[in-house]
Chains A and B, each alone.
Chain A
Amino acid sequence: MENYTRKFLVSVFILFLFFSILGIRIWYLQILKGDEFEKFSRNNRIRNIRIAPPRGRILDRNGKGIVINRSSFDLYVVPSDIKNLDTLLSFLSQLLLIDEQELKRRIYSSYDSQKFNQVLIARDITRDQLAILESRRDSFPWVFVEVSKIREYPYGKLGANFIGYVGKTTKSDLKEYRDLTGFDLIGKSGLEKSYQNYLQGSPGYLQKVTDAFGREIKSSVYKTDISLKQSDPGSDLILTIDLDLQLAVEKILSEYTGAVVVMNVHNGEILSMVSSPSYDPSIFVKGVESGDWKKLISDKNYPLMNRVTRGLYPPGSVYKIVTGAAALEERAIDTNTRFYCPGHYRLGNKIFRCWKSSGHGWVNIHKAIVESCDVFFYEVSQIIGIEKLYKYSKLMGYGAATGIDIAEKYGISPNKSWKKKRLNKPWYKGDTVNVAIGQGYLSVTPLQVAVMTSSIANGGYKITPHFVKEVISSKGQQLYKYKNNKKRIGIGDEYISVISGAMVGVVNQQNGTAKRARLENIEVAGKTGTAQVVALDSIKIKNKKYEHHAWFTSFAPANSPEIAVTVLVEHGGKGGAVASPIAKRVLESYFKLDSQYSLQ
């Protein structure tokens, strides 16, 4: 073992050396710097301050701000430091006009205060409140104010239904978004919710050494340990929305209860989407007063609901586009096939009426769409049957997601198995008759109708409606860009052009149902719809609640389509009378703006 003697000596030397370093360091900390650390342990506190990241902005297609940020003074309390709770509560209660019990709850019921010492008490206090607070600073060093960024809506209600609102982060949100705290605001609906990951950014941290009076102090002994990380602002969303068009459409629809969507027929870019009535998202920023919230959710006009994507309505005659295309593609009819309309249709012992009780006489597909003859489609429905109709309904996008980047409803596109499963009843031939003209079990969203209209306008391609063109990080980097991948829906060109030709007739022919949508210089194509809310059309309608929904869906210019405009007016009456003039005004606004600068 002799050759190991030297190694043992080296080992003992290393042992001695390392332990000497430990001993010297302990001596340095305890004897040399002891007084400084003692003072520190007696008076000083380290505060971990979180720097909340500003949320990304939401801009229109030309970079104009729809949702931006402004500074907010937020009042925080460090609960562990509070020495005179009662005085503090009465002071804050008077300052903020918040009940003392509520204040106490906010201070102590936070579920996310372990990592950070501060608890948010009030967001966005006024400058006057700030001034009073500063004057009493020395009495309440455990209260402090940090500046953060909160949402500002320069155009108020504009786009609120698809932009959505932000609100308090809940416990379940915290599980999903680890970077957030209970004090952060999180997207609760619309784009604010769908793009939360892009918008939120990542927080920074700041460690402050403060004395017992909350004053920041600097000392050499711990300087190297104090850390600072700036927050990373959230990324900006560049929308497909055109702010000027959106403003114009909101104004047009303001006096109605209903929905309008304007969409690029080639790539699904949504240029404008309006759901009326709407709400002011800024009330959510500070935390909604419970009264306001109750008023919003109990409002019978459902201002929080986006009628374009989540409103379900029977499509009415607008759906004849589907029935017509299905019949043509299935070769059940051709352009010369004619049926006689006496004003009603008999199936077994049941009579189905045409909206025009005097009848349309001999009708082919073109005339049936132009004049919206019901009997023609009743006849067609019995030839093709519900399963074929269902197939084309699906191809046109009904009963399924459109894929838009906010929450949407799918609606119902019925067939035999659906009825069996849902209602446990067999399918009757009469059900097919109803579906053929867009009634019965059908329910659709205005967005689905706009997608169908776009497919007709663009020559038979399925497009995905979307709001976000691109996402740009705070450093100017493009993080996301929408990629257009349109696919054919599976209906032949020649049949698509039969339908779109008829839609031109709807607006421009003498006996078309939507003459009121005509524009002077630009040819418009469209289809009206009048959706029955209740089946009892024989009852004289007095109550507004039972009034029909008015539909009009259109695209223009008819020879080289750019946009689709779909209008729905709830309980508005006849589509031709009510919805088509609205569409006309929307189209006018679009082409007026388009001549000023290109919207393409």
Chain B
Amino acid sequence: MINIRLLRNFDVGLFFITLIICVIGIINLYSATINIGTEVFKKQILWVSIGLFITILLSLINYRLLLRYASHFYIINILLLVVVLIVGREISGAKSWLSLGGIIYVQPSELVKISVILILAKFYHDDFSAGPFGVFDLVKPFALIFIPILLIVIQPDLGTAFIVGLISISIILFAGVKTKHLIFLVIASCVLFVPLWGHFLKDYQKVRIMSFMDPSQDPLGSGYHAIQSKIAIGSGKLSGKGFMQGTQTQLRFLPEQHTDFAFSVIAEEWGFLGAFFTILLFFILILWILDTSSRSKDKFSMFVCFGIASMFFWHTVINVGMVIGIFPVMGLPLLFISYGGSATLTSLIAIGIVMGIRMRKFRLSESDLSFNKY
């Protein structure tokens, strides 16, 4: 199953880009958290180390196993989401954390990104028609997406629910939807939203959704964040204030500086050059994954890679867009740059999957495809 000879084909490029982004993230976290101690910094090093190990390991595993077990992952992930609603721990307002021995906390909702990508890729792989698809073809994928998203909304971790939705929609649009049916779907989803809003959501969840959509309702929270973040970025100018010299960061005017607003720290301390370089790396990363997707020899790996590319794309666009003030403030991390064990692990798992696909440039054999009937 694990084929060491494959290492000849090791995707050095993707691994290298990922490594650079992770290192930038870690260095930046050091500056962002030095005032509150080095614990966050050390933890992130640990997460990245574990993650990179998993990445290499995953790249050596034949991805057809992912196809074989996609449904299993999906169901286990759903069960974890249910478990977290019952015994989960609430941190900053969302009951989305599972305690592992009371020391490590993980978010099953982060893993949903991978599970949903795999299950959708499996769906389109199993379907031999080439699209575009009509409404009735989409009932099953929509149901597959809807269940985890609903469970995440209940937590409520709206940022993650939102990103899972975006990734899913990206994959579905990529697979193709008939134009008329697409218009119908947009209208129907707007109509469906109303009873969902009225019956299933509790008041505090509504309030969270409202302030998610319209942050001006919380002027002292997100409004304040938005101003301070813009000041931090703008004042970085061309070459930045220097590592650990950012006044907005070090004097703690910048909120959430090691999580959602970590990119602002880069922009303040490393200036336009640092900020531009960072998003350029993300651009190359996503382009690389899209390239892998386009070279795929089967639909499953193509859709998996496309889904992962869209995950990085939406995380980057929304997070950076938020800190530079073109998107509302919503709690969504910049992958590899923001601190967070579950998000980092999930992202590195995703990279590992893409690397594994790129390393196997042969088409799945008929015997591999027979796993579908399992």
Contacts and interface: CB of A to CB of B under 8 A. Distances in A.
Contacts of B321: 22, 25
Interface in B219-267: 219-220, 223-224, 226-228, 230-238, 247-248, 253, 267
Given A26-B267, A30-B272, A18 B236 contact: no
Contacts of A48: 220, 224
Given A12-B287, A25-B326, A37 B216 contact: no
Contact of A30 (B233, B290, B309): B233
A41 B247 contact: yes
B320 A221 contact: no
A392 B253 CA distance: 69
Contacts of A31: 237-238, 272
Given A8-B293, A22-B317, A30 B271 contact: yes
Nearest to A37: B234
A34 B248 CA distance: 14
Contacts of A35: 237
B235 A40 contact: yes
Contact of B237 (A11, A34, A42, A46): A34
B313 interface: yes
A143 B325 CA distance: 32
Given A40-B235, A41-B248, A30 B220 contact: no
Contacts of A34: 234-238
A115 B223 CA distance: 13
A26 B324 contact: yes
Contacts of B279: 19, 22-23, 26
A21 B234 contact: no
Contacts of A38: 234-235, 237
Interface string A221-243: 11001110100000000000000
B227 A1 contact: no
Interface residues of A, number: 43
A98 interface: no
B294 A4 contact: yes
A18 B309 CA distance: 14
A205 B219 CA distance: 8
Interface of B: 130, 174, 176, 216, 219-220, 223-224, 226-228, 230-238, 247-248, 253, 267, 271-272, 275-276, 279, 282-283, 286-287, 290, 293-294, 296, 299, 302, 306, 309, 313, 316-317, 320-321, 324-326
Given A8-B293, A31-B272, 20 more contacts: A7-B174, A12-B287, A15-B283, A15-B286, A19-B317, A22-B317, A26-B272, A29-B325, A34-B235, A38-B237, A41-B232, A41-B247, A48-B224, A205-B220, A207-B223, A221-B230, A222-B231, A225-B226, A227-B219, A227-B223
26 contacts: A3-B130, A11-B290, A15-B290, A15-B313, A19-B317, A22-B321, A22-B324, A25-B321, A25-B324, A25-B325, A26-B320, A29-B324, A30-B271, A31-B272, A34-B238, A37-B230, A37-B235, A38-B237, A41-B234, A44-B231, A48-B220, A205-B220, A222-B231, A225-B227, A225-B230, A227-B223
